[in-house]
Amino acid sequence: MITTTQRIIKSGFLNFWRNGFISLASVLTMVITLCVIAGLIFMSALLSITLNEIEKKVDINVYFIPQADEADILNLKQALEGLPEVADIVYLDREQVLDNFKEEHKEDQIELQALQEIGDNPFGAVFNIRAQETSQYEGIAQFLKSDSALSKGGIDIIDTVNYFENKVVIDRLTKIINTAKSLGFAITLLFVALSVVITFNTIRLAIFISKEEISVMRLVGASNMYVRGPFVVTGIMYGFIAGVCTLVLLYPITLWLGPKSADFFVGVNVFTYYVRNFGQIFFIVMFSGIVLGAISSYLAVRRYLKV
């Protein structure tokens, strides 16, 4: 068994080197396929990171009345933090809101004078709430409308929740994000399927050229494994070498595209992504290449084994 395996591997290597042009053509086709697969990994990551960034920018603000008791506000904060939909709450008390206002309007003397004339702090505290997903804001807003948001005296301590003002925009954004995710997934599947078919056909063509050779092997009594083995080894070599070429090619390509992608996709640099996730990308590209080469060769030889 060991001798047979050694002979099959040796024969696969010899096939690869001695069929130079066919090997080159198969490797180049596979490089294109693997580049498409790698490109889709980058696109998927860019889309995902960009959508996450956009999602992070969506939040709702809860404005309390100036008379609201801080203890009631903190109780409400605690209740909100208990909700699974809530990712993060930033609490600004009345003084911080006033300071922020002054900082924002330090150039605007009229606003500052008006504030001085009022004398007292006219601002209420504010919650800035971020949900896990954009679709969950409605639930949080509904929660705020419930009894938990009322003070002990029966007076509503919440002045405004800006979700209801931004509802249309948030809903539209949620739809866009979900559509982009589904579309991205469908396009990924389509491109991967097309690339796999092209690679499969190239390898099938390479093996078609050897069909006479396969029939001779059968006529000298070679077993299926002994005929198929070297072709599968050659297919694995196509995949391995194409994988290495793809990973090498991706370095200058992502280096060149990096600043462009950072400008276009809210600061996501594909080169940084490639370097940081090299292990994962290496595994996907090499695994795809080797498996694609092996399976394509295995299936392509099968039809000529009936002699």
Partner 1 sequence: MLYFDRVSKIYSDDSHALQDVTFTIEPQEFVSIVGHSGAGKTTLLKMILAEDTPTEGAVFFESNSIQDFDRTEINSFRRRIGTVFQDFRLLPHKTAYENIAFAMEAAGRSDVDIEADVPHVLNLVDLGDKMWNFPHELSGGEKQRVAIARAIVNQPDIVIADEPTGNLDPINTYEIVQILKKVNDLGTTVILTTHNKGVIDSLKKRVITMDRGRLIRDDHEGTYVL
Please classify residue 238 by burial: count the beta carbons closer than 10 Å to its beta carbon, then call 0-12 exposed, 13-18 middle and 19+ buried: buried
Closest CB to partner 1 among residues 24, 307: 307
Buried b (16+ CB within 10 A) or exposed e, 275-292: eeeeeebeebbbebbbeb
Q: What are phi and psi of 8, to 5 degrees?
A: -65, -45
Nearest distance in Å: CB 206, partner 1: 12
Closest CB to partner 1 among residues 151, 297: 297
- Angle of CA points 85, 82, 55, to nearest 5°: 25
Q: Pairing state of beta strands 126-131 and 60-64?
A: antiparallel
Nearest distance in Å: CB 8, partner 1: 9
Nearest distance in Å: CB 29, partner 1: 20
Nearest distance in Å: CB 226, partner 1: 6
Given the rule CB under 8 A, which residues bind partner 1? 3-4, 7, 14-15, 18-19, 212-213, 215-224, 226, 307
Nearest distance in Å: CB 303, partner 1: 15
Closest CB to partner 1 among residues 3, 113: 3
Q: Tally Cβ neighbours within 10 Å of residue 32.
A: 15
The first and second tokens of residue 245, run together, are: 């070429």
Closest CB to partner 1 among residues 26, 269: 26
* Contacts of residue 295, Cβ cutoff 8 Å, sequence gap at least 6: 235
Nearest distance in Å: CB 11, partner 1: 8
Closest CB to partner 1 among residues 110, 220: 220
Closest CB to partner 1 among residues 97, 217: 217
Detail the DSSP E strand segments found in the chain: 60-64, 86-92, 126-131, 158-161
